[in-house]
Amino acid sequence: MAVVEHTVVVSPQFHEFHPDLMAPIALGLDGWVGVKTDEFMDRSPYAKVGQAIRGAAVIPVWLTAPMADSVMRTMELGNALTHHEQGYDARAEELVYVLPFAEGRSDKITQVRRDVKPDESDMWPVLATLDGDRWMVAGETIYAEMFADMIAHVAKASKLLLFEPHSALVHRYFVKNFNEKFGNGDSRVLTLSAVPLFADWLRVNDKVDENTVVLAPDIGALSRAGYLAQILGVPLVICDKWRPKHNSAQVSLKYGNVCGKRVIGVDDIIDTAGTIIDGARVIREEEGASELYVFSTSAKFSGPAISRLDEALRTGLINEVVVTDNLPTANKGKILGSMGFKIIPIADLLLRGIKTLLDPEATFDTYGIRPYLFTNETSLEAYHRLQRQFSLPPL
């Protein structure tokens, strides 16, 4: 078997899953090594790395449904790249896992909320998140915590690159596990933000002036929305969102004025787009905003998302939808047309992040990633920090 002694991307999903993102990264490193994946008749998994690797292996992981498949493939690669057999010593020196998408539903630390009375539903005991932006049910799995533990300890990761995780707690779960394993988790986990990319796009396209405001669609989005408002130097407005059930939400304006304003809404995920459309109607039709631009890190575009966005763009309810290409499903949005839908590529930013992790002499300025560092704040922490600057009311 040939041996690769440089830094390469190792992935069974390179060509078929997301070549738009991974091809530029592989070209910026030393190439790509494929992985053969298969199943036995009883559906037991099989994986074999195409070449032995003595250098660093960069392994992209999409933490998406079906979750079990993502987790299993990741564990397989970690084992295949690091185990030692007699007469075969070509273990990778470093495994750098790259998570362009790290949502991890049920990713919050929880505490019992004692002012809620029990009812006949399965919502008792109700748990409130320390983030303050999502209810949880007793007994729910915290997938981000579980996956962080598996990446660090089972998948043999030595370093990790995260891109705009769903919450700061996702980042903290990984740092905690890398601290347990190496003692220096903060230097081994690098988390980058999409918010400065959004700010750059808005400035280049002349969307920032005295009439512009940034909207947090709920308290959970306050950290990234507040960060964008600070970068642009514009006011912050906040909506309140309540979810009576999964993939459903009720939206109202909680703080600020949007009447006659150009509103920049920023969140991390577009799933079915139902919440976005409901929020758009509140902001445009009830509150009188003149324009609405929707920014999202991750375009999952599940179910009716495309048809909903298409109607909103055609009717002028939403002026433009802007997403990154961290998920391949972002390409579904191209059917919406170039006038209403834009994709911001992130391959160059991820490549610079990988090089920063691999270069022992690098600082955050060596490859220009300092402006893109994740703020690592929970929603509650962000609220307290932004309260004085934007004169936010008490929670």
Catalytically annotated residues: 241
| CA angle at 246 for the pair 218 and 310, rounded to the nearest 5° | 70
CA distance 284 to 112: 37
